[in-house]
Chain A
Amino acid sequence: MKKEGTFALRIYPVLFMALLTVLFITVVSGIYLSTKDLVEMNETLSRKKAVLYAAGIDFPDGNPEGIQEIYTNRVREIGTADGRPAYFEILTDGSVSGYAAYVSGAGLWGQIVAIFGFGKDLKQFTGVEFIEQNETPGLGARITEPWFKEQFRGKTGPFTLVDEGTATGPGQLDAITGATRTSTAILRISNKAPEVAEEVIASNGGEH
Chain B
Amino acid sequence: MVKGKLKKTFTDPLGKNNPVFAQILGICSTLAVTNKLENTVVMTLGVVFTTTLSSFVISLIRKWIPSRVRMMAETLIIASFVIIVDITLRAYMPDIWKQLGPYVGLIITNCIIMGRAEAFALNNTPGLSLIDGLASGIGYSYVLIIVAIFRELLGTGSLWGIKILGSWWTNWSIMIMPPGAFFMLAIFIWIVKGAIIPEKEEAKK
Contact = CB atoms under 8 A, between A and B. Distances in A.
A1 B91 contact: no
Contacts of A35: 87-88, 90-91
A135 to B, nearest CB: 11
A27 B84 CA distance: 9
| Interface size range on A against B | 20 to 34
A12 interface: yes
Contacts of B66: 1, 8, 12-13, 16
Nearest to A35: B91
Contacts of A13: 66, 68-69
Contacts of A31: 84, 87-88
Interface string B177-190: 10000000000000
- The listed residue with most B CB atoms (<10 A of its CB), out of A9, A28, A136, A138, is A138
Nearest to B180: A138
A78 B48 CA distance: 45
A81 interface: no
B150 to A, nearest CB: 13
Interface stretch (B3-11, B73-81, B110-118): B73-81
B101 interface: yes
Contact of B80 (A12, A24, A134): A24
A83 interface: no
B91 A17 contact: no
A73 interface: no
B59 to A, nearest CB: 15
A9 B66 CA distance: 8
A57 interface: no
A39 B90 CA distance: 6
Nearest to B155: A138
B176 A136 contact: yes
Contacts of A139: 173, 176-177
Contacts of A1: 66-67
Contact of A137 (B67, B92, B176): B176
Interface string A157-169: 0000000000000
B177 A24 contact: no
A20 interface: yes
Contact of A138 (B90, B91, B176): B176
Interface string B87-110: 110111010001101000000000
A55 to B, nearest CB: 21
A16 B176 contact: no
A138 B152 contact: yes
B45 interface: no
A178 B155 CA distance: 11
Contacts of B99: 137
A21 interface: yes
A28 B69 contact: no
A42 interface: yes
Contacts of B87: 28, 31-32, 35, 39
B152 A134 contact: no
B22 interface: no
Contact of B76 (A21, A134, A137): A21
Contacts of B42: none
B77 A24 contact: yes
**Which 6 A-B residue pairings sit nearest by Cβ, starting from the closest?**
A138-B176, A35-B91, A13-B66, A24-B80, A178-B173, A42-B94
15 contacts: A1-B66, A8-B66, A16-B64, A17-B73, A24-B77, A31-B88, A32-B87, A35-B88, A38-B91, A39-B94, A42-B91, A137-B39, A138-B156, A139-B176, A139-B177
Interface of A: 1, 8-9, 12-13, 16-17, 20-21, 24-25, 27-28, 31-32, 35, 38-39, 42-43, 46, 132, 134, 136-139, 178
